[in-house]
Chain A
Amino acid sequence: MKSAVVLLPGLNRDRDMIAALTKISGKPPITVWQTDTEIPDVDLIAIPGGFSFGDYLRCGAIAARMPVMRAVAEKAAAGVTVIGVCNGFQILVEAGLLPGALMRNTSLKFVCRQVKLEITNANTMFTRRYQPGQIIRTPVAHHDGNYFADADTLARLEGEGQVVFRYADGTNPNGSINDIAGIINDRGNVLGLMPHPENLIEAAHGGTDGRGLFESALGIAA
């Protein structure tokens, strides 16, 4: 499986994402820069976390308007798997590839801690290595992870199984509506989530709970 990682100024989790993809797929991902207008043939595109363009204007807003995101949108429309983590999730919603918006945490504080995540839908290309309802642990580190969508959008997301990850056991760190931590698009090939599965993929991280997400998305047997 070939993968690509999108690089933008201000992202800081790109090396973690590259390490995770290299370790799990056995091949280092190619990297694409913000000004690239084409992305080579790959099976998966990852947009890592960080603070692209200093989070100026709104988190992910400026990154979402860079040329590379037009290329990501074309690939997503062609069915390529896309994962956005943290700032990557914010960029995907700002680019209109996922519905809703990510707003300031209700605590107004940056949160950096481990949370529990429920696999709300295990029947997606991102979660098929997990059991339905399984609770996994992942770190979060963000200031703007408070997911919001209007009532119609929310009903559609819930009704169509597009809510894939939910904060569990009262660990919602940001006030996100319906405890939503991660969603997919209606076609099911674009995922955005606030937690960092790439930071929990080997024993040295203190656990491997995030590994299943990459194994699922890359079609790798557990």
Chain B
Amino acid sequence: MIKARITVTLKNGVLDPQGKAIEHALSGLGFGGVGAVRQGKVFDVELAESDKAKAEADLKAMCDKLLANTVIENYSVAIT
């Protein structure tokens, strides 16, 4: 079994209203010097697969087909 963590983040230049709201909330809590905050998503995936290369290829295909919208998002795959 392979476990992986997929991280999906907004591309640079794509406005992130939720990140902005979080940024303001952090400043409001008194955390000084908070720069830009960008919100993303994390998926922990378990795969019944022993071949790491095959797992990585499958995970990337999952990102391209469903987990990320590549019009606005980037993704990274880390096998843990």
Contacts and interface: CB of A to CB of B under 8 A. Distances in A.
Interface in B53-70: 65-67, 69
A57 B18 contact: no
Nearest to B68: A58
A151 to B, nearest CB: 9
Interface string A147-163: 01110000000000000
A14 interface: no
Interface residues of B, number: 12
A111 interface: no
Contacts of A146: 15, 17
B67 A57 contact: yes
A170 to B, nearest CB: 19
Given A103-B14, A103-B15, A103-B17, 19 more contacts: A58-B69, A61-B69, A65-B65, A93-B71, A99-B71, A100-B71, A101-B71, A103-B72, A104-B17, A104-B18, A105-B17, A106-B15, A108-B17, A108-B18, A146-B17, A148-B14, A148-B15, A148-B72, A150-B13
Interface of A: 57-58, 61-62, 65, 93-94, 99-101, 103-108, 146, 148-150, 175
30 contacts: A57-B67, A58-B69, A61-B66, A61-B69, A62-B66, A65-B65, A65-B66, A99-B71, A100-B71, A101-B69, A101-B71, A101-B72, A103-B14, A103-B15, A103-B17, A103-B72, A104-B17, A104-B18, A105-B17, A106-B15, A108-B17, A108-B18, A146-B15, A146-B17, A148-B14, A148-B72, A149-B71, A150-B71, A175-B15, A175-B17
